[in-house]
């Protein structure tokens, strides 16, 4: 099949590469000339396991190409995927300018039937707006060309996006057009060989399904963090509680790990967008708003523990941070808890020595060169001369460290464990002061 993907960000690049990997001919369109040139040269702008290999392989095979030519892209594909960014407006709503600009461009250049596929995460009703934008341009052109607009939301986890696309749990297609549904069924057939994973529904239900999924997962995280804070005050161990409730199949173990808050490009943005969308139809989404409030509060938990340990006197202190990305296996720092923590430490006069396996360049881009931030080349280097170690992201290489080496490098044996990686009893035996999330009594009842 001949496919066009508009946008070479996280979703667009993964989508285009994986579709090409199945044998289709894909053109990815982006207005950023430097980015397109870099992609055609085999340079991948984001870190995602397995992505670089399939981009380079399919580009070399002639199945995947990148261009700034919108007209070329519209001519190429019967299926036109819109996978551009929908950043958050100041009021929390999704900014659809890029989506609608692409829609108008498709309307400007299309000469035969097209299926326009909304892959970007967009509010309910966006497909109608895309349809209106294209129809408006066609009317100005006095052109009669058939088209359908389909909602096909992505469910890709950063750090596992290629695997998620190649072996999806489900493929949601929102359309009332049998012709469009059949084309999507044909496209996705190689990705659901074991059993039919394609679920066809109406457009608005498909659009809401994406928000519902992310808000449901964010809710589980915030609820678990709320329970962890209660456990801490009672002297209970949230890890034992987690095992106890996770064994209930109605709850399960996924997304019930307490920590220092969620971040990234999806959960925060989608939670805010759903709150705003609900307001627009006259509904107060109280629970969704509480999910956001709990998460914002949780991002300050590590700083509060650090400040309490040092008696509020952080000026001149040095903290070693392990982990900067919002989650492992990505270099994404959007809405990352590490940013909230570092900025609070700097405001209090502390210095940071930081290490992350993938996010060092992104940290440098965000904060530049500053005297209170040292970006280190290894976890061990970050420890040197620090007054305490802070775990912010649960990278695999942080899970079983040499605690004697940590003790020797720090000025005092203190660990703030924002992801509950370590056994409190083990660290207590080794003489560490260990502050975790909800793993014992640290505040009076």
Task: Return the active site residues.
Answer: 266
Q: Is the dihedral of CA 70, 73, 79, 85 positive or negative?
A: negative
Task: Report helix, strand or coil for 225.
Answer: helix
CA 439 to each of CA 105, 215, 259, 275: distance values in angstroms, whole numbers, following the listed order: 54, 26, 11, 32
- Inter-residue contact 375 to 352 (CB < 8 Å): no
d(CA 71, CA 57): 26
Sheet holding 318-322, edge to edge: 373-375, 351-355, 318-322, 388-391, 414-417, 433-435
Q: Kindly state the tokens that stand for 29.
A: 């369109």
322 has which bridge partners? 355, 391
Q: Beta 388-391 vs 318-322: how paired, if at all?
A: parallel
Radius of gyration of the chain (CA): 24
Phi, psi torsion values for 321, nearest 5 degrees: -105, 125
Long-range contacts (CB closer than 8 Å, 24 or more residues apart) made by 208-212: 208/124, 209/153, 209/172, 209/174, 210/121, 210/153, 210/154, 210/155, 210/172, 210/270, 211/121, 211/123, 211/124, 211/270, 211/273, 211/274, 211/277
What is the crossing angle of helices 286-298 and 267-280, to 10°? 150
H or E stretch covering 426: helix 424-429
- The length of the chain, given as a count of residues: 445
Question: What 8-state DSSP symbol labels residue 358?
Answer: S
Paired tokens of 100: 């609608």
Q: How many alpha carbons lie under 13 Å from residue 83 in its C-beta half-sphere?
A: 28
Burial label for 402, CB within 10 Å (0-12, 13-18, 19+), is exposed
Any idea what the Cα angle at residue 331 is, between residues 99 and 210, rounded to 5°? 40
Give the integer Cα–Cα distance in Å for 296 and 277.
Answer: 20
């Amino acid at each position: 099949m001949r496919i066009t993907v508009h946008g070479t960000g996280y979703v667009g690049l993964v989508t285009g590469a994986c579709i090409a990997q199945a044998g289709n001919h894909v053109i990815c369109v982006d207005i950023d000339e430097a980015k397109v040139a870099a992609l055609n040269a085999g340079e991948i702008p984001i870190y995602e396991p397995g992505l670089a290999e399939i981009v380079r392989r399919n580009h070399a095979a002639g199945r995947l190409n990148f261009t700034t030519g919108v007209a070329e892209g519209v001519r190429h594909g019967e299926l036109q995927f819109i996978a551009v960014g929908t950043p958050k407006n100041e009021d929390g709503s999704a900014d659809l300018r890029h989506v609608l600009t692409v829609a108008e461009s498709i309307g400007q250049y299309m000469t035969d039937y097209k299926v326009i596929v909304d892959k970007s995460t967009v509010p309910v009703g966006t497909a109608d707006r895309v349809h209106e934008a294209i129809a408006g341009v066609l009317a100005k052109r006095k052109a009669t060309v058939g088209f359908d607009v389909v909602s096909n939301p992505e469910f890709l986890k950063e750090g596992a996006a290629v695997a998620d696309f190649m072996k999806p749990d489900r493929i949601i297609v929102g359309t009332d057009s049998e012709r469009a549904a059949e084309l999507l069924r044909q496209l996705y057939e190689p990705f659901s060989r074991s059993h039919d994973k394609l679920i066809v529904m109406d457009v608005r239900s498909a659009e809401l399904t994406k928000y519902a999924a992310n808000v449901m997962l964010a809710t589980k995280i915030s609820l678990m963090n709320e329970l962890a804070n209660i456990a801490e005050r009672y002297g209970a161990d949230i890890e034992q509680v987690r095992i106890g409730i996770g064994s209930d199949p109605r709850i399960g173990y996924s997304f019930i790990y307490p920590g220092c808050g969620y971040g990234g490009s999806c959960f925060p943005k989608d939670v805010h967008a759903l709150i705003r969308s609900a307001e627009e139809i006259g509904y107060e989404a109280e629970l969704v708003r509480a999910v956001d409030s709990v998460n914002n509060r949780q991002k300050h938990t590590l700083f509060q523990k650090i400040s309490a340990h040092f008696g509020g006197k952080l000026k001149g202190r040095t903290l070693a941070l392990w982990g900067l990305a919002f989650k492992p296996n990505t270099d994404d720092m959007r809405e990352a808890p590490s940013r909230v923590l570092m900025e609070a430490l700097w405001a209090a006069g502390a210095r940071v020595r930081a290490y992350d396996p993938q996010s060092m360049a992104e940290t440098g881009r965000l904060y530049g060169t500053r005297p209170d931030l040292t970006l280190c080349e290894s976890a061990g280097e970050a420890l040197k001369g620090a007054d305490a170690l802070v775990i912010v992201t649960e990278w695999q290489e942080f899970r079983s460290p040499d605690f004697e080496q940590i003790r020797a490098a720090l000025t005092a044996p203190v660990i703030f464990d924002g992801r509950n990686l370590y056994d409190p009893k083990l660290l207590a035996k080794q003489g560490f002061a260990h502050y975790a999330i909800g793993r014992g009594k640290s505040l009076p009842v």
